[in-house]
Structure 1
Amino acid sequence: MRIVLINMPFASVYRPSIGIGLLQSALEKRGIACQSLYLNLEFASIIGLEAYDHLSEYTSYPTNALAGDWIFTQSLFDIDNFDEYRDYLLTTFPHARRKPDAPDRSFKRLLDIRSRVEAFLEQAVEKYDWHKYDVIGFTTVFQQNTAALSLARRLKRRFPDKFIIFGGANVEGPMGLGTLNAYDFVDAVCSGEGDNSFIAFIEALREKRDPSLCRVPGITLRADFGAALPPEPSSAVPVHDMDSLPYPDYDDYFEQFESFDLPESERKRRLLFEASRGCWWGQKSHCLFCGLNGSTLKFRSKSAERALEEILYLRERYQAHTNKMTAVDNIIDMNYFKTLLPEIRDRNLDLDMFYETKANLTKEQIQLFQQAGFHYVQPGIESVITSVLKLMRKGVSMLQNVRLLKWCAEFSITPLWNFLYGFPGENAQEYDETSYLIPSLTHLMPPGSVSPIRLDRFSPYYTSANQYGIHNIRPLRSYELIYPSLSSQDRMNIAYHFDFDYVHEQHPAVYTKRITQAIRKWQSEYQQSEFFSVMKEGSLILVDTRSVALQSTTLLSPFETAVYLECDNMISSLNVTIRLKEKGMDVSKEDVHQCLMKFVRRSWMLTEGDVFLSLAIPLGNYSPKKAGLQRLMDITSPVPQAVVRTSS
């Protein structure tokens, strides 16, 4: 028996599919021949990497537009609805009009890419020897669904005896049943984790040769195989022993990558590794907007030894191709700060790594990330408004999020995050109030985007909508344009992203205008903004090029220096006083509080509920951006110039 697993556009060309890699490895360990086919690489080579990235990396088209899926709509349904889709983009995403010629260029690009689809699909059918495969599997996540369906339809038409199965996030739970109901050329779907269910199904098929005799939890067959579609999808048995998983096999990805003309993308390639599944925070307090994990929220992680072995294996096997690695975990196992990360640090592996985490890390943990080679983290910040963070059940405060941004800057780690708004029941006034805080933060990494929340399937907002003031749930308008021939019920079944209405009227697009403008300015000013501190002769010098700064350089008094240094971490005014007294300083609580409030007025600190946090980045481990280097040279020269003392 031979299996082929296909990765279609618009999966990123820079990363192999870990899902395909794991399944291929598991099948081959059982003596079942399997090949991975990265047709996303082939399509990228046809249309050009720049055009491909506009869709796969969301650099030009809004995420909610699902433009990558629309590209294959005409091929799948034989319907040309470009004019309608263009009008939808212009009316729903008005920021597309910012540059006068931007919409024209974007739409021309869409048409150019779409014009290549038919030839690409026909070439795929003719180029590969499909006769030798018994099972053709498609992974479908994010913007891969219509591409996978388009090729599957052609393959079934040409090779009707081939068994076609879909797996991935786009067919989990009800979406899988919806796919089987809507498309008779899909023979089965694998819902949830396929490590057990898909492998068991293929082994059963190898033995019995008849799909109707291969009933495995997590695998649903279309009705033609002797049983009506169930009202509810069957659940795959999740992996409990994470150490039992094989190493992913990426050989086919790199071999095929080299065969296509994509040279400029080589430096961006990253290996994917997995140390855990599920979310330990979500088990305790499921973030209300999060639809990740579906039915497998339970947190499971590999032992540190096994996780390290996998990292070392991937590094050794693929080091000729890349030294970059990304953890696909939803959240890091906090035990890894005591076990896995110190091991990675001590081995000096020269890796450029990425991990997702919570924002309430200690400074030591962030430094350990840096020492272990993690240049990027995704801390799930989402907002800098404490009440909104509580509303979404993030378990952090505004000060904790800002602290994370500051410490990441200090240790040269890039935190990737987005600013979300539009949560049911949020306080509109707080957005205006917080907009005045934003100019204080422009030296720290800004959010990549500012956008309203999207309702995702499996999130608490979706599953318990009435409880959270949400109603009239319907698929995003883009689904109607991408799947124009499907019934509204079929679209509801296959959709992952939804629009909704608030039970209690609120208008986030109106009350977030000011903070959105402030964040846009933050994004534009970030590269020129600096705010760091330098210790010179027992006193701190604050170097400040933010637009909010009253002066670019300020020398603090010894007392002010002592107070400021205590606030690198969040601390109350009382505890600052206690610590200074423990160091032998004769200070009063009133003097300390007065000093702290002065720092707040100057935008050198933030405060919330009598807790304070300094904003200047200590120079020790920090490398200033270009804007701050000249000021630093002035300060560290034998005779500092233009250093202004604080006024009393």
Structure 2
Amino acid sequence: MATGEHVLLVVPPVLYPGIPTLGPSILAPACRRIGVSARVHYANLSFASRFGFEVCARLAASRTLVGEAIFLGAAFPERANDVDRILDLLQQDVEADAKLRQLVRLASPDEEHVARCVAEIPAFIEQTAARVVSASPKIVGFSSMVQQTMASIALAREVKRLDPKIVTVLGGANAAEPIGSALLEMTGVFDFVFSGESDREFPEFCKTFVEAGVLPEQRVIRGRGAPRMDDVPAPDYDDYFAELEPLRATDSIAANAPHFLIFESSRGCWWGDKKNCTFCGYNFPGTGYRAKSADRVVDELETLIDRYDVVRFYASDNIMAKDFPRSVLDTLADRGTPCALSYEVKSPIRAADLDSFVLAGIFEIQPGVESFSTNILKSMDKGVSGLDNARVLRDAASRGLRVVWNILTAIPGETCDDYERMLGLLPLLHHLPPPTRWGPIRISRYSPYHNQPEKYGIKGLRAWQAYYELYGEYADRIALHFFGEYTTEFMQAPDLVARLDQAVTDWTNAWKRPEGAPVLSIRRLQGGWIEVADTREVSKATVQMLPPHVARVLDSVQQPVSLRRTLDEDREILDGLVALGYVALHEHRYLALATEPQIGEALWAQRRRNLGRGADDPSIEIPLDDVSVGPSRRKLAFSHDETLRL
């Protein structure tokens, strides 16, 4: 490892090794900006190289805390004999939960790989810490989020043993208060922790120590957040690429990495500043929503594309800025920037904004579709109706946009009637992509459910049992996820829970059919006629022609329209469209359900032209699973391709 840096920022396992990490990649250039040399060391890449990139990826994706448990013996040597027992307990939790069991089968490494990790982790920690110390840094910072705490403790302990003069620092989501102070008390291996955004505080801390040898009296340093996002350095991922390069020939994941890069255009959540979604713990208190200027976002993206020859980016933003479609996306579209972006957005989204998404290169959105029940959404403070969410899914599908979304249950305030109504709607939506997952919420630290449990009728809040096994008396201060004592009508109706499970399973299976996913789409013809293609299980006719007067009524409910606001003369036609399943009547509101692939065809043709290619250039592949259009099942050039040719 190169020597001479004042500061070494360590990315511990078991973070996914196929992409670099944003936080350290911003802090390192922030230090260099004020004269403090700094670099990032990806210990998670070293771990992946030793144990296998797939093993590391599966550990990182695990829904249990197995990625923490395997490092327990190295973090606390006196507890090495507890590791196997705790791993057995985690497995028992999995076996007791059918849904978790399914997720673990998909994501977790097998027992043989876990056993090998446990056996060899002490040697890995010794070797990694020796490499860190050999670089002669004055300060070693550990970046910790998700399942990186135990590895951070283990590495910090060994670094301190090898060279007690090195100042050890912990930062990241797993150091935010009250977690940070609890880890200081519990471990004794960190000299300082940084709680919250420390874009200014950490570089100044390092500069003061490097130049004057002075350290602050307080050991928990609270970040105040960057007041101007344009002052935050662009991420520098050079260290990741340098450490990845010699590993490319050894592993297929490494050979194709990075699968994307992380960038940020804003921090905080403008919706959460007004009304925090009740289950969400991402909106860290006290910082407020801040966004980079449009020019800065465009320049930063284009710089990252040119520097790293990567076009796929995932935004770290909790939510897209409200003016983003008109300020940033229109500029990206006009300049023909060759990028493919994934963003979290706020439902409902205007159709015009979805058009801007396509033209600018956004291929995937996560709009916070958590339910189709307006009562449940209101209980979660989502600020949206059930049919608003269905409309977003429909319009995104029309434009060839991938949507990541979930159905959340066990929401305080939900009723059985909410789910009965949803069960009537779901079969009509089989032509739209099914949820990524469904199931009960988890109570997350910093969420309203955690901060104000009594407001939602939640009692007996306590950390997941796995946290007690790992952290003992400190569990409630360190845990990210909690159990609470409460119930709802739905939670007490096992038959209804089973019906919802079956409904989602049927929807998911419909998208796995050999003949392709179901279709409900329209194609506009001359003279105002509309051709409808319908291959859903509820279909009454595979192909249907709608005359102009019926087409007009169908168009009148492209947005959710309340029953009482429809014209009397249209009611009979609407009832007929409801009977055909082309229009949903849900919660006393109408909504047209069919996608319109012609919209996507035109937008992607324009996207090709913006990129300086012909409208029919086959070298541009739209990053989405195959989308079938029209009665002949003709396929658009929409295909999900990890290489994403542009």
By the TM > 0.5 criterion, same fold? yes
Query: Which string of whole-angstrom CA distances, capped at 9 and with x for unpartnered residues, describes residues 116-174 of structure 1?
Result: 42332232133444351111100001111111112112212222221110001111010
Cα distance change of structure 1 residues 145 and 104 upon mapping to structure 2, 3 Å threshold:
closer
Q: Which residue of 2 aligns with 1:207?
A: 211
> What is the distance in 1 between the residues matched to 2:565 and 2:488?
42
Partner of 1:493: 477
Q: How much does 1:3 deviate?
A: 0.5
The equivalent position to 2:521 in structure 1, one of 500, 519, 532, is 532
Q: Which residue of 2 aligns with 1:86?
A: 91
Contact 2:95 2:101 in 1 (8 A): yes
**Structure-2 change in CA distance of 1:83 and 1:574 (3 Å):** closer
- 2:415 aligned partner: 427
Alignment of 1:591 onto 2:569: yes
Aligned AA for 2:507? W
Is the 2:520–2:594 contact (alpha carbons within 8 Å) kept by the matching residues of 1?
A: yes
CA distance in 1, matches of 2:138, 2:44: 22
Q: Kindly tell me: are residues 508 and 8 of structure 1, through their superposed partners in 2, closer, same or farther at Cα, counting changes over 3 Å?
A: farther
Q: Does 1:551 align with 2:550?
A: no
Secondary structure at 1:194 match in 2:
coil
**Does the C-alpha gap of structure 1 residues 571 and 98 become closer, same or farther in structure 2, counting only changes over 3 Å?**
closer
Query: What displacement does 1:307 show?
Result: 1.7
User: Which runs of no fewer than 5 residues in structure 2 stay unpaired?
Assistant: 602-623, 636-646
**Amino acid of the structure 1 residue aligned with 2:475:** R
Pick closer, same or farther for the CA change 1:374–1:492 going to 2, 3 Å.
same
TM-score if structure 2 supplies the norm length? 0.86
For residue 224 of structure 1, what is the aligned residue in structure 2?
Answer: none
**Alignment-derived partner of residue 274 in structure 1:** 264
Please show how residues 395-406 of structure 1 align to structure 2 within 5 Å: 395-406=383-394
Give the fraction of aligned pairs with identical amino acids, expressed as a percent: 29
**1:295: how far off?**
2.2
Amino acid at match of 2:380: M
After superposition, residues 97-176 of structure 1 pair within 5 angstroms as: 106-130=110-134, 132-176=136-180
Partner Cα separation in structure 1 for residue 138 and residue 294 of structure 2: 38
Could you tell me how far 1:276 is from its partner in structure 2?
1.0
C-alpha separation between the residues in 2 aligned to 1:505 and 1:535?
45
**How do 1:304-323 and structure 2 match up within 5 A?**
304-319=294-309, 322-323=310-311
The aligned counterpart of 2:223 is 236
Could you list the runs of 5+ residues in structure 1 that have no partner in the other structure?
A: 222-232, 577-588, 636-648
**Counterpart position of 1:73:** 72
Q: Once the 2 structures are TM-superposed, how far is the Cα of residue 96 of structure 1 from its aligned partner?
A: 1.9
Deviates more, 1:75-84 or 1:566-575: 566-575
- Supply the AA of the counterpart residue of 1:523: T
User: How far has the Cα of 1:267 moved from its partner?
Assistant: 5.5
1:439 matches 2:438: no
Letter in 2 for 1:492: D
Deviation for aligned residue 1:633: 6.2
**For the residues of structure 2 that align with 1:537 and 1:167, how far apart are their CA atoms?**
62
Q: How far apart, in 1, do the equivalents of 2:11 and 2:493 lie?
A: 37
Q: Is the 8 A contact 2:16 2:44 kept in 1?
A: yes
Q: Is the 8 A contact 1:543 1:628 kept in 2?
A: no
Name the counterpart of 1:632: 632
Match of 2:544, SS? Answer: strand
| Residue 429 of structure 1, CA deviation | 2.8
Equivalent-residue separation in structure 2 for 1:72 and 1:514 (angstroms): 40
Cα separation, partners in 2 of 1:353 and 1:625, compared to 1, 3 Å: closer
Q: Check conservation: 2:329, 2:360, Cα contact below 8 A.
A: yes
What is the distance in 1 between the residues matched to 2:492 and 2:236?
46
In the TM superposition, residue 508 of structure 1 has moved relative to its aligned partner by 5.8
Specify the alignment match of 2:31 in structure 1: 27
Give the distance between the partners of 2:153 and 2:563, measured in 1 at CA.
61
Aligned residue pairs total: 594
**What is the Cα deviation at residue 471 of structure 1?**
1.0
TM-aligned CA distance change 1:103 to 1:17, over 3 Å: closer
SS of the equivalent of 2:598 reads: coil
Q: Secondary structure at the match of 2:466?
A: helix
Taking structure 1 as the reference length, the TM-score comes to: 0.86
Contact between 1:419 and 1:449, CA under 8 Å: does it hold in 2? Answer: yes
Preserved CA contact (<8 Å) 1:172 1:294: no
Aligned counterparts of 2:318 and 2:175: Cα–Cα separation in 1: 19
1:182 is matched with 186
Q: Which amino acid aligns with 1:86?
A: Q
2:110 match: secondary structure: helix
Superposition pairs of residues 26-45 of structure 1, within 5 angstroms: 26-45=30-49
**Secondary structure class of the residue paired with 1:69:** helix
Q: How much does 1:365 deviate?
A: 0.1
State the AA in 1 paired with 2:503.
Answer: A
Say which is worse superposed, 367-376 or 9-18, in terms of deviation: 9-18
Quick one: distance in 2 between partners of 1:529 and 1:27?
A: 53
**Equivalent residue number for residue 227 of structure 1:** none
For 1:198 and 1:561, how far apart are their aligned partners in 2? 61
| d(CA) in 2 for partners of 1:448, 1:477 | 26
Q: How does 1:55-66 map to 2 (within 5 A)?
A: 55-56=59-60, 58=61, 61=62, 63=63, 65-66=64-65
C-alpha distance in 2 between matches for 1:457 and 1:629? 44
Secondary structure of 2:434's aligned partner: coil
More deviation, 547-556/238-247: 547-556
Secondary structure, aligned partner of 1:621? helix
Partner of 2:289: 299
Equivalent position amino acid for 2:523 in 1:
V
Letter in 1 for 2:445: R
What is the identity, as a one-letter code, of the residue corresponding to 1:439?
P
**Greater alpha carbon shift after TM alignment, 600-609 vs 270-279:** 600-609
Decide whether the 8 Å contact of 1:411 with 1:622 is kept in 2. Answer: yes
Code of the aligned partner of 1:613: L
Q: Which amino acid aligns with 1:512?
A: V
Q: Distance in 2 between matches of 1:371 and 1:184?
A: 53
SS of equivalent residue, structure 2 residue 242: helix
CA apart distance, 1:89: 2.0
| 1:332 and 2:336 aligned | no
Q: Take 1:98 and 1:341, find their aligned partners in 2: how far apart are those partners?
A: 36
Structure 1 residues 509 and 34, CA, compared in 2 at 3 Å: closer, same or farther? farther
In 2, Cα distance between equivalents of 1:155 and 1:397: 53
- Partner deviation per Cα, 1:89-121 (whole Å, 9 max, x = no partner): 21245652799x989973344334434423322
Aligned CA distance change for structure 1 residues 509 and 459 (closer, same or farther; 3 Å): farther
Distance 1:442 1:504, change over 3 A: closer
